[in-house]
Every structure is written in structure tokens, then in C-alpha cells.
Amino acid sequence: MRLTFAAVVLIACLAPAAHAQRSLGYWYVAPGGLTSSGITKFTIQMGGGGELAVGKGVSLGFEGGAVGVKRDYIHTLQGEASLNGYYHFRHSRDSRWDPFATGGYSLFFRRGTTNLGNFGGGFNYWFGETVGFRFEVRDQMQGGPVAMHYWGCRVGFSFSRLSP
């Protein structure tokens, strides 16, 4: 009951910001690696997500995807879900370049779950008002006695465009 009430209050508080701002969606594929103890295995990541602007240059995002080691992709495939904050450095709709930085929480899942932190940055290059090219470098890391880094160079497309 408390969780439902908190969700309703959060939506009500964000509604004015969401009404004045537009959203952004994206799809990506990312060659990358799983690095741990000085060893790197080639990975392939893919997924999609979206952002909702909540202030000038600030947005909140959610994404889902999959990551696996290339050599044995099917047997190493894991699902991924992330909640992130974004900061877009340019606030003018006149600019085709839209550089951003991001950071947040990631959850990997297959037979169990793994909690990770993530950070990265990149840019959108807008061909028009609603379609753009997206490039991003992201590192999702798991701490502990043996640190693991799932990093990737994401290439994809963005749809729609955040308002200034």
C-alpha cells in the first residue's frame, strides 16, 4: 500500500515537468568486453531505452538489454536493466550535437541477480527533429573481491528529441 501511494505521489510531482518536456528513446548494439583480473573477453551487448526530461539538461532514464560473451553467447547471455540519470550539456534545439554524461544502477539477471553501478558518456547527432545517431561508451561494474567491468562502445539510433 505504501509503495503504491509513493508511486502515485512521485508521478504527480513529475507530471508538470513531463508535460513541458519531451522524451527520447534509443536502440543500440555494443561491441565491448568483460574485464576482470587483467583478462578481457569480447562481449556483444544490445538493447534499448528511454529518457524523460525533468529539468534543463537533466533527464531520468530506464533501459533493458542483453549482454553475453561472444565466444559462447547463448550460454553466457544475461538480461540487463538500468535506471540512470543523464545530463545533456547543450540545451538548444538549434544544435545537431547533443553530448551527455550518465550514471546509475544496473541489474544483471539470468538464474540469479547481480547489482552493478554504471557510468558513461556520449552524444546524439540529430539528422532532423526526431531521428539521430547515438554513440556512447558505458562501463557497468561489479565490486567485490574480484571487480568485473562490462564495458561497451554503443552505436545506435535515437528517436524524438528532448526539449530545452
Provide, rounded to the nearest whole percent, the portion of the chain with pLDDT above 90: 69
Chain segment 110-131, per-residue pLDDT in tens: 999 999 999 999 999 999 888 9
Strand blocks (E) in 6-147:
23-36, 39-55, 58-69, 78-88, 97-109, 113-126, 131-142
Q: Is 12 left (phi over 0), alpha (psi -120 to 50) or beta?
A: alpha
What confidence score (pLDDT) does residue 2 get? 46
**Do 154 and 29 form a contact (C-beta atoms < 8 A)?**
yes
Kindly report whether the global pTM for this prediction surpasses the value 0.85: no
Helix (H) or strand (E) holding 73, with range, is helix 73-76
Chain segment 7-50, per-residue pLDDT in tens: 444 444 444 444 445 689 999 999 999 999 999 999 999 999 99
Residue 63: CB partners within 8 Å, gap ≥ 6?
Answer: 47, 48, 49, 50, 80, 81, 82, 84
Domains and CATH numbers, the chain: 22-159 (2.40.160.20)
Contacts by 134-139 with C-beta closer than 8 Å and gap 24+? 134/26, 134/28, 134/158, 136/28, 136/102, 138/30, 138/102
What confidence score (pLDDT) does residue 160 get? 87
* Residue 85 reports pLDDT greater than 90: yes
